Structure 1
Amino acid sequence: MTLPTIIVPGYLESAIAYRPLEISLQQLGFPTLTVPLRRRDWIPTIGGRPITPILQQLDQTVKQALQEYNATQVNLIGHSAGGWISRIYLGEQPYGTNIWNAHPLVATLITLGTPHTSQERWTRKNLDFVNLNYPGAFYPSVRYVCVAGKTIFGERRRGGWLAYSSYQLTCGQGNTWGDGITPIAAAHLAGAENLVIEGVRHSPRSPGIWYGSPEKFPIWGQFLV
């Protein structure tokens, strides 16, 4: 049976950016929904505040998919922050006033360019919670697939400054490879099936090829079967 798939957008991103990927997945036979986020939905989470509003919409979308497709489990595709947000959703520890405990509902979690670690003080509030309570590929019943991009080497020179600064803020080292935003070192988890794809940029709004482009999707899409 092909399980329904839920796409979880990255930080400050709206669902519309993932529509091409959603359509591609549907055409390949994967029933797919994207958490229907708008950019303004992220405003309450700015500054390291709890991402509870996003988790609530994720939970509603999962329940919708389970009912619509008469399924008992889903697959999650978390892009960027959507990956570590999904890890909170899987968990059974209280997050604020909520306990999501969704790991029995998730067969596979695929993260695309997710910064699973960060040195940035606001992001660390949430990521420290995730990594303290659910380190690595935490739930044996869930298949974790973590995809990193090897596209831009961070350097202190023209063309490499943005990547350098982002990598340094994320993993503490600027001179390394990544997708232009997330370094490889931060995009992988201990115990997961960790992949590196060359030539992909971080965001669906980036020029050129990103993780969800038709040229690269088959590399990680196989894990949805």
Structure 2
Amino acid sequence: MPLPTVILPGYLESGVAYRSLEQSLQQLGFPAVTVALRRRDWIPTLGGRSVTPILQQLDATVKQILQQCNTSQINLIGHSAGGWLSRIYLGEKLYSGRGEVTSSVWQAHPVVATLITLGTPHVSQERWTRWNLDFVNQHYPGAFYKNVRYVCVAGKTIFGQRRRGSWLAYSSYQLTCGNGNTWGDGITPIEAAHLEGAQNIVIEGVRHSPRSSPMWYGSPEPLKAWVQYLV
């Protein structure tokens, strides 16, 4: 039987937005559950502050599904910021975010068989995000844990340019990797969505958000490109 899969939403997103992905995985035979975040749960993390409240909810979900399925490992899917949050969760270093008095450590890498990141900006030039991402990349560069399979999925959909229709993509890419004139999913550029040493995948035509139309990473067709790694 396939390992259970936990889905961690992206920044400022709720778990409800991932219900369709969760159901698609279940129909394919993969037990799946989404961390039941609400949009307001992200408020304490705004302005580059500690992401510990989100990681605590992730940890509670993982422990619950491990017990329910009577298993010792899970697969973890992190969308957008959920991908680099998952890398903190795997780690053994004390994490103390801005504005946090106490430090936390989860050491979850032994219980995660595969980490799949969807449109995750693994680097950032944006000052509020950079503190957390610098922590991740300094302590856990690339596909850091050899006992975890890392799969990083990027979208090739919009080329960033300073003109109508691609200005948002240009600005987001510029803020993420320092180069606006590049390909990405409309929010995250390809070069920021991949990690050294990971299984890096590019899917054409997908947009960043689960609320995007007509297709995002978790839509039925793009799903086929990465779901095999949950086996």
Bucket of the pairwise TM-score, normalised by the shorter protein: over 0.9
Aligned: 1:36 with 2:42: no
Alignment of 1:151-170 (within 5 A): 151-170=157-176
In structure 2, the residue corresponding to 1:61 is in which secondary structure? helix
In structure 2, the residue corresponding to 1:190 is in which secondary structure? coil
Q: Which runs of 5+ in 1 are unaligned?
A: none
Query: C-alpha distance in 1, partners of 2:219/2:71?
Result: 27
Q: In structure 2, what is the equivalent of residue 129 of structure 1?
A: 135
Deviations 1:69-91 (A, max 9, x none): 00100000000000000000000
In structure 1, the residue corresponding to 2:42 is in which secondary structure? helix
Query: C-alpha distance in 2, partners of 1:216/1:159?
Result: 23
Shift of the alpha carbon at 1:32?
Answer: 0.5
Q: Which runs of 5+ in 2 are unaligned?
A: 97-102
Deviations 1:31-63 (A, max 9, x none): 001000000000000000010000000000000
Query: C-alpha distance in 2, partners of 1:216/1:42?
Result: 28
Shift of the alpha carbon at 1:215?
Answer: 1.0
Give the TM-score taking structure 2 as reference length.
0.97
Q: In structure 1, what is the equivalent of residue 75 of structure 2?
A: 75
Tell me the matched-pair count.
225
In structure 1, the residue corresponding to 2:224 is in which secondary structure? helix
Q: In structure 2, what is the equivalent of residue 114 of structure 1?
A: 120
Q: In structure 2, what is the equivalent of residue 85 of structure 1?
A: 85
Task: Give the counterpart letter for 2:29 in structure 1.
Answer: G
In structure 2, the residue corresponding to 1:173 is in which secondary structure? coil
Q: In structure 1, what is the equivalent of residue 99 of structure 2?
A: none
Deviations 1:103-160 (A, max 9, x none): 0010000000000000000100100000000000000000000000000000011111
Give the TM-score taking structure 1 as reference length.
0.99
Task: Give the counterpart letter for 2:214 in structure 1.
Answer: G
Deviations 1:183-213 (A, max 9, x none): 0000000000000000000000112100000
Query: C-alpha distance in 1, partners of 2:105/2:201?
Result: 30
Runs of 4+ that moved beyond 3 A: none
In structure 1, the residue corresponding to 2:150 is in which secondary structure? strand
Q: In structure 2, what is the equivalent of residue 139 of structure 1?
A: 145
Shift of the alpha carbon at 1:16?
Answer: 0.3
Q: In structure 1, what is the equivalent of residue 207 of structure 2?
A: 201
In structure 2, the residue corresponding to 1:216 is in which secondary structure? helix
Once the two structures are aligned, what percentage of the paired residues are identical?
Answer: 77
In structure 2, the residue corresponding to 1:215 is in which secondary structure? helix
Query: C-alpha distance in 1, partners of 2:222/2:170?
Result: 24
Q: In structure 1, what is the equivalent of residue 25 of structure 2?
A: 25
Deviations 1:159-189 (A, max 9, x none): 1100000000000000000000000000000
Query: C-alpha distance in 1, partners of 2:82/2:126?
Result: 17
